[in-house]
Amino acid sequence: MDFSLTREQELFLQMIREFTEKEVKPIAAEIDEQERFPSETVRKMGPLGIMGIPFPAEYGGAGSDNVLYSMCVEELSRACATTGVAVSAHTSLCAAPIWEHGTEEQKRKYLPRLVSGEWLGAFALTEPNAGTDAAGQQTTAVDMGDHWLLNGTKIFITNAGAAELFIIIAMTDKSQGMRGISAFIVERGYEGFEVGKEERKLGIRGSSTCELIITDCRVPKENLIGKVGKGFGIAMKTLDGGRIGIAAQALGIAQGAMDETVRYVKERKQFGRPIAAFQNTQFQLADLQTRIAAARLMVRSAAWKKDRGLPYSVDAAMCKLFASELAMEMTVNAVQFHGGYGYSREYPIERMMRDAKITEIYEGTSEVQRMVVAAELLK
Amino acid sequence: MKIVVCIKQVPDTTEIRLDPATGTMIRDGVPSIMNPDDKGGLEMALRLKDEHGAEVTVVTMGPMQADAVLREALAMGADRAVLLTDRKFAGADTLATSNTLAGALRLLGYDLIITGRQAIDGDTAQVGPQVAEHLDLPQVTYVEQARLSDDNTLTVRASTEEGYRMLEVGLPCVLTVLVTAGKARYMSVRGIVEAFRREVEIWDSARIGAEESKLGLGGSPTRVAKSFTRGAKAAGQLYEVEPTEAVEIIVAKLREKFII
């Protein structure tokens, strides 16, 4: 067992930290304030290979792995959770299912455009009446012989406003229940496919979250992913991978809030000494730092298992559960440490607290993660 | 075109703290980086490569750990990396260093040699010019821009205390380059992955075929008579903004430090 970073990982951290410091951090407050998707950052990340880290060079990817990808999302999220989730949803929820379940033709057609960042990707499972109960899909896909005809509405779709490619989950045979669900690749330009209004949110306000309105949308036969009826399994496996990304995002938010808090408590003086000198500060921060270190090991261990083709669903659920609840607690405490300044929008802490909340909700709520862990434990 | 860029691994002096009691540098935990002027030189070489096509080789003299800056250079887009390492190179001053580099450069071959102006740990600005003298090549120092005007001529802009000079120089030649030559590109993720799958060539003194008396401590006539520490000063931050925005930044900083 070896816990040390490889030289490749060290060099990558040097690069992604420099990139985050110079390109991501300076606009983090602005894109939150303006509720604006950071397209300019995506344009810069594409050529650097950040939009396709765990995919082979053969398809234009960086040829690295999920451990490095998790480090990337963590570092970006340390400064800007919006940028972190843009990379995570694109990589784990759109490019990954094509890479893992797609045909050779689908990979050749779509992966190069995704991993180069030319096209941003999104994934659409959630519907007004199908959230945690994902099997209750009302979007339908009907086999019309030479094409599929899709109809329905999706909501809360991350990246949607800026995405060119969507993985759409739809019911192909309602009588089959979960086994009647299939997954499709849908291009933004297909007739009958419309990206609806932008959701106005508490946090990750630069992230584009939209509804999708699908009306008699003709999707080519060859855009079915995997086999008919296998969509639910593909969606669940996709979310397993996505949870590593969101756990990394949550970890990054927690680390970012810790960085700010450490800097602040050393500078801020009350009762004649820095607030870092009070044992209450020290004990609280020590507990949180311990959990950050634990979360990081959990995230990297889940990513490591995925890279080796080992089962990792439970690991992904556990690291997402742990890291997201940590992000929430860390940021709430960070605001408290900052006092009035923490509540002020002059400081990044209130944004981090607003951003943290979603990590307990999307790609499976904390309750879903507990269900996954308990099901394995008690089987 | 064959471009060779000489780079050096240096301690990140912006991260260095001084022991308040002794006034000496605390080296522990100080990260090593590619010398900033050298990075400017590498960026210049890579831009010439992007525009005209070139093979860019990076070379450094140093201990095995200096491999790190060569990998970084490969990840930025360099084609070939050579590490000059040998116990016999140890303790070299600028003359012995330039002798060693010149020996390697003769073997590598070149149309253009680029070095950084000076290293942030030594600040001599001597190695580049000395390399040019050893190889009997024309040199332009303090270069900020270089453009290939025809196959054999560079038009360069060299910084001076009063302003700058525009010069034409025939190839082969040596340029010493400033960090201000251009914002260095980021390493790419694929570049990083591939940097560790490629070979960094290790050359020792035998490979260079240099005279032993001209290497390392023995080949170094320089003697340090006295060294002293300048007062510590934290790294500043530079903003190029409109006056109104500048006021906001200054006020925010003063608030952050609880001065106002």
How much is the pLDDT for B201?
97
How much is the pLDDT for B210?
80
Ranges of each domain in chain A: 7-115, 121-229, 233-377
- 3-state class (DSSP) for residue A198: strand
How much is the pLDDT for B123?
82
CB contact under 8 A, A12 and B189: yes
Range of lowest pLDDT (B16-25, B92-101, B186-195):
B16-25
Which fold, A233-377? Butyryl-CoA Dehydrogenase, subunit A; domain 3 (1.20.140)
Residues of B in contact with A7 (CB under 8 A): 68, 71, 196
- What's the rounded Cα separation, in Å, for the pair B171 and B8? 24
Confidence of residue B228 (pLDDT cuts 50, 70, 90): low
ipTM confidence score: 0.92
CB contact under 8 A, A269 and B258: yes
The partner residue sitting opposite B189, judged by closest CB among A14, A62, A268, is A62
Mutation target among B39, B72, B186, B241 for the A interface, most CBs of A within 10 A: B186
Confidence of residue B17 (pLDDT cuts 50, 70, 90): confident
Please name the helix (run of DSSP H) or strand (run of DSSP E) that holds residue A368, with its range, or none: helix A366-377
| Under 8 Å between Cβ of A129 and A156 | no
How much is the pLDDT for B40?
97
CB neighbourhood size of B236 (10 A):
6
Class of the domain covering A121-229: mainly beta
How much is the pLDDT for B229?
63
- Exposed e or buried b per residue across B62-101, where buried means at least 16 C-beta atoms within 10 angstroms of its C-beta: beeebbbbbbbbbbbbbbbbbbbbbebbeebbbbbbbbbb
- 3-state class (DSSP) for residue A62: coil
Regarding the domain with residue range A7-115, which homologous superfamily does it belong to in the CATH classification?
Acyl-CoA dehydrogenase/oxidase, N-terminal domain (1.10.540.10)
CB contact under 8 A, B192 and A11: yes
Phi–psi pair at A65, nearest 5 degrees: -140, -175
A21 touches chain B (CB under 8 A): no
Task: Please give, rounded to a whole number of angstroms, the shortest distance from the CA of A346 to a CA of chain B.
Answer: 9
Closest-CA residue of A relative to B185 is A48
The partner residue sitting opposite B193, judged by closest CB among A8, A18, A267, is A8
B193 touches chain A (CB under 8 A): yes
CB neighbourhood size of B157 (10 A):
16
How much is the pLDDT for B28?
74
Q: Which two tokens stand for residue A265?
A: 């408590």
Mean predicted lDDT score pLDDT of chain B:
91
How much is the pLDDT for B196?
96
Kindly tell me if the per-residue pLDDT of B68 is higher than 70: yes
How much is the pLDDT for B29?
78
| Under 8 Å between Cβ of A24 and A41 | yes
Residues of A in contact with B72 (CB under 8 A): 11, 14
Q: Secondary structure of chain B in the HEC alphabet?
A: CEEEEECCEEECHHHCEECCCCCCEECCCCCEEECHHHHHHHHHHHHHHHHHCCEEEEEEECCHHHHHHHHHHHHHCCCEEEEECCHHHCCCCHHHHHHHHHHHHHHHCCCEEEEECCCCCCCCCCHHHHHHHHCCCCEEEEEEEEEEEECCEEEEEEECCCCEEEEEEECCEEEEECHHHCCCCCCCHHHHHHHCCCCEEEECHHHHCCCHHHCCHHHCCCCCCCCCCCCCCCCCCCCCCCHHHHHHHHHHHHHHCCCC
B75 touches chain A (CB under 8 A): yes
Please, what is the Cα angle at A269 between A264 and A270, to 5 degrees?
125
- What's the rounded Cα separation, in Å, for the pair A76 and A84? 5
CB contact under 8 A, A50 and B189: yes
Nearest CA-CA partner of A169 in A139, A133, A209:
A139
Task: Please give, rounded to a whole number of angstroms, the shortest distance from the CA of B217 to a CA of chain A.
Answer: 31
Confidence of residue B33 (pLDDT cuts 50, 70, 90): very high
CB contact under 8 A, A12 and B72: no
For helices A349-358 and A313-338, angle between their N-to-C axes, nearest 10 degrees: 150
Per-residue pLDDT of chain A (379 residues; tens, 9 = 90+): 889 999 999 999 999 999 999 999 999 999 999 999 999 999 999 999 999 999 999 999 999 999 999 999 999 999 999 999 999 999 999 999 999 999 999 999 999 999 999 999 999 999 999 988 888 899 999 999 999 999 999 999 999 999 999 999 999 999 999 999 999 999 999 999 999 999 999 999 999 999 999 999 999 999 999 999 999 999 999 999 999 999 999 999 999 999 999 999 999 999 999 999 999 999 999 999 999 999 999 999 999 999 999 999 999 999 999 999 999 999 999 999 999 999 999 999 999 999 999 999 999 999 999 999 999 999 9
In chain B the domains, ranked by start, together with CATH numbers, are 2-226 (3.40.50.620)
Residues of A in contact with B256 (CB under 8 A): 267
How much is the pLDDT for A178?
92
- What's the rounded Cα separation, in Å, for the pair B3 and A370? 58
CB contact under 8 A, A47 and B252: no
A57 touches chain B (CB under 8 A): yes
Nearest CA-CA partner of B208 in B130, B113, B110, B104:
B104
| Under 8 Å between Cβ of B58 and B78 | yes
Residues of B in contact with A64 (CB under 8 A): 189-190, 192-193
CB contact under 8 A, B75 and A15: yes
pLDDT in tens, A36-61: 999 999 999 999 999 999 999 999 99
The pairing of strands A181-187 and A224-225 is: antiparallel
CB contact under 8 A, B186 and A19: yes
pLDDT in tens, A212-258: 999 999 999 999 999 999 999 999 999 999 999 999 999 999 999 99
The partner residue sitting opposite A62, judged by closest CB among B186, B190, B255, is B190
Closest-CA residue of A relative to B65 is A7
Nearest CA-CA partner of A150 in A90, A217, A196, A102:
A217
pTM of the complete model = 0.91
